[in-house]
Amino acid sequence: MSDASTTGPMRAADGTLLKVSLARALRRQKLRALMLIMPLLAFVLIGFVLPIGQMLMRSVENDIVQDTLPLTIEALQEWDSTSNESPPEAVFTALAIDLQAALESKSHTILGRRLNFEYSGITTLFRKAGRDVEDWNVETDGPFRVRFEEIDEEWIDPTMWRAILAYSGRYTAGYYLAAIDKTMVSGQIENRPKNESLHLMLFGRTAWVSILICFCTLLLGYPIAFLLSNLKARHSNLLLILVLLPFWTSLLVRTSAWKVLLQEQGVINDIMVGIGILADDNRFQMINNKLGVVIAMTHILLPFMILPLYSVMKTIPPTYVRAAKSLGATDWTAFWRVYFPQSIPGIGAGAILVFILSVGYYITPELVGGPTGSFISNRIAYQWSGAGNWGLVGALGAILLVAVLILYWVYDKIVGIDNVKLG
């Protein structure tokens, strides 16, 4: 009988199973921990995950076409879209019914705007048709094909109908195609005309200028970080304040200051003309182009390179370099073979920070970039507030997000994310 109590499962003082009691205590602890991070979790979910999810949804959602023209799209399935003839009468009858239903909520003009992103002119077609269709009797006023033709000849244009059919799905790849300069307006995926292709070039420019900025910040930041970590505390603190000072100044102020410095009648050009390096009528153009963006953004992002470098260099024991020298290494060998490899985690952290920040930069390219220095983010902003093509905004944003994630992955493979140190 006493055997049972010694060989059976262990119990806590109150007689419950020890395992259960332990789990309960741990659960309470976990719950408490969860409660503590709850505000942050909720904030991240609501402020970050949800909007990004919504953006991704927007980039494929295309309900508006089927919701506004349900009967028309159904009737359109019967039409041979490869033929060079306009759709049959049934489609136009369905269109008249659909349009009348759409008039009340004005969804026909919203649809017009949506389709106009792919096929210029549809906005007006739908607006004009809406005005006339309002007075029609859909039971008796047919045939409608002729009546639509009377409103505008383009209504019987098969190319226009092919475009509507191509973008009629509830989900569409159309926005992603537009984001990589392609279109399926004819039913097949094809390149947009060259004089309308913009996005791939902007993605490319954003990537390569960001790499350049990354490189410039490294070139300028490395010696400063080295100096910072090797000076006496009194001096290095002063220097650190100088590094941080621009950090505390508004981004807008710093960008505008560069405008004043770099413009053609600006401070730098005036000085160069004053000391006779440049002729007055041949001033150097340093702003409203790529050069301006590189200069201004290198300055703005410099602290993001210096600080991780500094915190890593701080931890490199000076004895290693001394040891290398005492073993006969030249200054260069001691630096390159001993010091530099130990500072690579700092370079990695700084480079990732600067690159990711600059890929998404908006305000500086907008102010000093001019047409040859603007980034993909400037185009995204225009599509959001100017053109109102939010699906394209979602697609461009998603591509940017995926590109950064891929780079992060490549970086992890090459450098190793464990090697990144912020201190």
Partner 1 sequence: MTLTKMIIGATSAIALAGAANAAAHMSGEMTIVSWGGAYSASQQAAYHDPYIANTGIAILNDESSGEAVAKLRAMNEAGNITWDLVDVIAADGMRLCDEGLAMEIDFDSMLAPGADGSTATEDFGETLVSVCYIPQIVFSTTFGYRTDMVPEGAAAPTGACDVFDMDTYPGRRSLEKRPIGNMEWALICDGVAIEDVYDMLETDEGLERAFAKLDTIKDMTIWWTAGAETPQLLADGEIFMGSTYNGRLFSVIAEQNQPIGMAWGNQMLDLDGWIVPTGLPDDRLARVMDYLYFATDTQRLADQAAYISYGPARASSAPLVGNHATLGIPMAPHMPTNPENMDGAFVTNYLWWADYRDEMDAKFQAWLAQ
CB under 8 A: which stretch of 33-41, 319-327, 340-348, 374-382 binds partner 1?
Answer: 374-382
72, with CB counted inside 10 A (0-12, 13-18, 19+), is buried
Half-sphere exposure of 261 (CA within 13 A, CB side): 10
CB under 8 A: which stretch of 9-17, 246-254, 300-308, 384-392 binds partner 1?
Answer: 384-392
Instruction: Supply the DSSP string of 127-176, one letter for each residue.
Output: HHHHHHHTT--TTTS--HHHHHHHH-GGGG-HHHHHHHHHT-SSB-SHHH
Q: Does 33 bind partner 1 (CB under 8 A)?
A: no
Helix (H, G, I), strand (E, B) or coil at 191: strand
State the sign of the Cα–Cα–Cα–Cα dihedral 147, 153, 158, 164.
negative
Cα–Cα–Cα angle for 7, 8, 10, rounded to 5 degrees: 105
Nearest approach, Cβ of residue 13 and partner 1 (Å): 56
380 in Cβ contact with 397 (< 8 Å): yes
182 backbone dihedrals φ, ψ, rounded to 5°: -120, 170
323 backbone φψ class: left, alpha, beta (φ>0; ψ -120 to 50): alpha
Nearest approach, Cβ of residue 326 and partner 1 (Å): 57
Out of 73, 122, 163, 164, the residue judged to bind partner 1 by CB under 8 A = 122
Q: Which is nearer to partner 1, 212 or 356 (CB)?
A: 212
Q: Does 342 bind partner 1 (CB under 8 A)?
A: no
Out of 198, 238, 327, 422, the residue judged to bind partner 1 by CB under 8 A = 198
Q: Does 328 bind partner 1 (CB under 8 A)?
A: no
Q: Which is nearer to partner 1, 41 or 198 (CB)?
A: 198
Q: Rounded distance, CA 188 to CA 81, Å?
A: 11
Among residues 281, 344, 287, which one has the least CA distance to residue 316? 344
Residue 268 CB: number of other CB atoms within 10 A?
18
305 in Cβ contact with 350 (< 8 Å): yes
Q: Which is nearer to partner 1, 21 or 123 (CB)?
A: 123
Nearest approach, Cβ of residue 202 and partner 1 (Å): 7
Q: Rounded distance, CA 99 to CA 68, Å?
A: 8
Q: Does 202 bind partner 1 (CB under 8 A)?
A: yes
Among residues 268, 288, 287, which one has the least CA distance to residue 278? 268
Q: Which is nearer to partner 1, 179 or 420 (CB)?
A: 179
Provide CB contacts within 8 A for 141, sequence distance 6+.
96, 147
Among residues 31, 111, 105, 99, which one has the least CA distance to residue 71? 99
Nearest approach, Cβ of residue 277 and partner 1 (Å): 20
Out of 47, 388, 416, 423, the residue judged to bind partner 1 by CB under 8 A = 388
Nearest approach, Cβ of residue 265 and partner 1 (Å): 5
Provide CB contacts within 8 A for 422, sequence distance 6+.
308, 311, 349
Q: Which is nearer to partner 1, 239 or 381 (CB)?
A: 381
Q: Does 14 bind partner 1 (CB under 8 A)?
A: no
CB under 8 A: which stretch of 67-75, 142-150, 367-375, 399-407 binds partner 1?
Answer: 367-375
Q: Which is nearer to partner 1, 180 or 387 (CB)?
A: 387
Out of 265, 317, 332, 414, the residue judged to bind partner 1 by CB under 8 A = 265
Gyration radius from the chain CA atoms: 32
Q: Does 263 bind partner 1 (CB under 8 A)?
A: yes
Site mask for partner 1 (CB under 8 A), range 99-118, x = bound: -----xxxx-xx-xx--xx-
Provide CB contacts within 8 A for 354, sequence distance 6+.
210, 213, 214, 217, 301, 304, 305
Q: Which is nearer to partner 1, 259 or 314 (CB)?
A: 259
Site mask for partner 1 (CB under 8 A), range 60-99, x = bound: ----------------------------------------
Residue whose pair of structure tokens reads 């200051």 in the numeric block: 257
CB under 8 A: which stretch of 160-168, 212-220, 387-395, 412-420 binds partner 1?
Answer: 387-395
Out of 387, 401, 407, 415, the residue judged to bind partner 1 by CB under 8 A = 387
Among residues 220, 346, 239, which one has the least CA distance to residue 294? 220
Out of 195, 250, 282, 319, the residue judged to bind partner 1 by CB under 8 A = 195
Out of 80, 196, 331, 412, the residue judged to bind partner 1 by CB under 8 A = 196
Q: Does 197 bind partner 1 (CB under 8 A)?
A: yes
Q: Which residues bind partner 1 (CB under 8 A)?
A: 104-107, 109-110, 112-113, 116-117, 120-124, 127, 192, 194-198, 201-202, 263-265, 288, 366, 370-372, 374, 379, 382, 384-390
